[in-house]
Amino acid sequence: MDYLNWLYVGIAGGVISIAVAIYLYFWVMRQDPGSERAQKVASWIRSGANTYLKRLYTALASLALILGIVIALIFSFNFENLATTGIVIEPGSGAIMAACFVVGALCSAIAGYMGMRVAVEANVRTATAAQKSLQQAFRLSFYAGSVLGLAMVGLAVIGMSLIFILTGEAHAVLGFSFGASTLALLAKAGGGIYTKTADIAADLVGKVELGIPEDDPRNPAVVADNVGDNVGDVAGMGADIFDSYVASAVAVMLLGASFAVGMQYKYTVIPLILCTLGTFSSLLGIQFVKVKEGGKPGAALNRGTIITCLIFVAALLVLSLTEVIEPGIFWSATVGIITGVVIGFTSDYFTNDQYKPVQETARVSTSGSAITIITGFSYGLISIVPSIIGVVIATLLSYYVAVGNGLPGIYGIGVAAVGMLSISGMIVSADAYGPIVDNARGIAEMAGMGQEVIERADVLDSAGNTAKAITKGFSISAAALTVLALFAAYSEVVKANGIDLNISLRDPIVIAGVLLGAMTPPLFSALLMLSVTHNAFDMIEEIRRQFNEKPGILAGTEDPDYDRCVGLAAHGALSSLLLPAFLAVGFPLIVGFVLGPDALGGFLGGAIFAGVIFALLMANAGGLWDNAKKYIETGK
């Protein structure tokens, strides 16, 4: 079997995926954009989103230039045979790694831009379609979300395959992954700060202090709030999944590269084969996401996910029966994707208003905010349990299935992570649908489209919130398995440089590393939330100033200064990233240089465990509170 041909198949699949994404973009653009008032509101959101993206990508370009130079310098020095030949200078290696880093960041940025571009065009068209039927609005918004999902997997598969074909080195693809991670850090963290800053400020002043409805055009922060949905949940989440998707494949490629010489190529290419199958499965699965008038959008999204999984597993089975891949690869990937679905639906249970956690949280809110917070937080903690059990089962099963078929167990764990993320095209499509319908609801309110349109948009929006929670469940669980595989890859790289790792819990240096690693995720989260607090306070003051200085705003005779709030949110989000970015990138380097590779190994382990716990808690508790609020607003 010539596995090189599979790389070309992967590139072809990526090209088809991008072509379908472009077709869907133009299909969305042909739909009715609605009334002049609706188009005007949409133009405010579009302008704000473009302003933020311009600032984000400008910052990214500057950072990419600096990091690219640093990477080129670092990887120009070869330490592999330090004892015999000393340090060997290889400028070509550094240049290749730096170029791959830039390409990785660029591919992620292009996917995010495509997703954002269609989202800010589809929102008004979805609101207009909701005037006719729920069915048309759902179809339009989901197809728009699919632009990001298909563009993301297409660019990722093309990028990884081309780099490996051109260089023949799995380590070169690591540079591509680091570029994707850098953009994900900026886009997801910055987008999250922007989103919550605008959301909190708009609701506190508008709904709490003045008693005006959500998405009321009199609120100066209403446009920033709607822009935030796009920068956080389209560009941000898209970059985050792109990063996890690439990192899982790269981890397994690095492990494959550590195999015996005769086996290296095959087992380095296998993760790219799995990504290729996932791309085609997503292309087919998207066709099954449909809802009838009066139907449930959430059920349609879940049906599409399940069908995509079944197509992927069927394709895997064919490759296993034809001996393209071993049974161990088939079972490990199948375990991964089943675990992803189970964890995703666990998130659905804790965040869907059809089930007890959301309904009970909404019910107890009649007793005040304190008990509402306690109830939601408690269910968030409980939601960790089934997800962690799922990750544990996936880890053990994939490990022993791989060992039972003559493969290293840690390779099986990595394959499970790739399997879990293989259908990212479908998962991200469902996730990007969420902010589009959220924006559509806002436009319907601001453009005065009527209560029926708003109610249809609310139905779509509730499904979108649940889809976001399911996506986070997938990405967090896959990230846990991916980091385990990367941890093994770290051990192999260190060993290749003549250093023997001894990560023992009886070693105080390792214990110190574990504790420092466990400290990092909560500290990172705290820095982001404090940034939201400080930035929201500044925006609240600005909103109050506008209402006080211009009484005509509240009376509806004068327009607010939307741009001022958009600018505050964008500046605050990007300026707040310096310390969290240093913590994520610089702190592990300091631990490694000061305490050594054993401590760094412990640091990675501590960060894995604490990060998974905090991520699951925050994702599920947040989705639960959000849908509990919407459940109350429906009057149920």
pLDDT in tens, 110-143: 888 888 888 889 989 999 998 888 888 999 999 9
88: confidence class by pLDDT, cuts 50, 70, 90: very low
The answer, yes or no, to whether residue 16 has pLDDT greater than 60, is yes
For 247-273, what is the mean pLDDT?
A: 80
Residue numbers of the domain that contains 249:
4-633
- Find, among 429, 430, 460, the residue nearest to 444 by Cα: 460
Q: In this model, does residue 487 exceed pLDDT 80? A: no
- Rounded to whole angstroms, the Cα distance separating 166 from 27 reads 35
The arithmetic mean of pLDDT across residues 12-37, rounded, is: 91
Q: What is the mean pLDDT of residues 612-634?
A: 85
Lowest-pLDDT choice from 167-176, 257-266, 320-329, 553-562 = 257-266
Q: Which residues of 556-577 are buried (b: 16+ CB within 10 A; e: fewer)?
A: eeeebebebbbbbbbebbbebb
Per the structure, the count of domains in the chain is 1
Mean pLDDT (whole number) for 402-417: 85
User: In the structure encoding, which two tokens stand for residue 379, read together?
Assistant: 């269910």
Flag the least confident range among 68-77, 180-189, 327-336, 360-369.
Answer: 68-77
Provide CB contacts within 8 A for 99, sequence distance 6+.
175
pLDDT of residue 26: 94
* Contact predicate 48/227, CB 8 Å: yes
Residues in contact with 246: Cβ distance below 8 Å, sequence separation at least 6, in sequence order: 104, 156, 159, 160, 176, 177, 180
* Tokens standing for residue 428: 């991200």
* Mean pLDDT comparison of 456-470, 481-495, 504-518, 559-573, highest-scoring range: 504-518
Ranges 167-181, 286-300, 358-372, most confident: 358-372
Closest CA to 353 of 634, 628, 619, 636: 628
Tell me the C-alpha distance between 123 and 427, whole Å.
20
Query: What's the predicted TM-score (pTM) here?
Result: 0.86
Mean pLDDT of the chain: 84
User: Whole-angstrom Cα distance, residue 370 to residue 582?
Assistant: 35
Express as a percent the part of the chain with pLDDT over 90: 20
- pLDDT tier for residue 58 given thresholds of 50, 70 and 90: confident
Strand partners, 468: none
Given a cut of 50, whether residue 85 has pLDDT beyond it is no
Q: Report the pLDDT value the prediction gives residue 344, as an integer from 0 to 100.
A: 79
CA 91 to chain centre: 34
How confident is the model at residue 260, as a pLDDT? Answer: 57
Q: Cα separation of 188 and 191, whole Å?
A: 5
Cα gap 215→196, rounded to integer Å: 15
DSSP string, 547-603: HHH-THHHHTSS---HHHHHHHHHHHHHHT-HHHHHHHHHHHHHHHHHH-HHHHHHH
3-state SS assignment for residue 406 = coil
pLDDT of the residue at 1:
54
Q: Is the pLDDT of residue 313 over 90?
A: yes
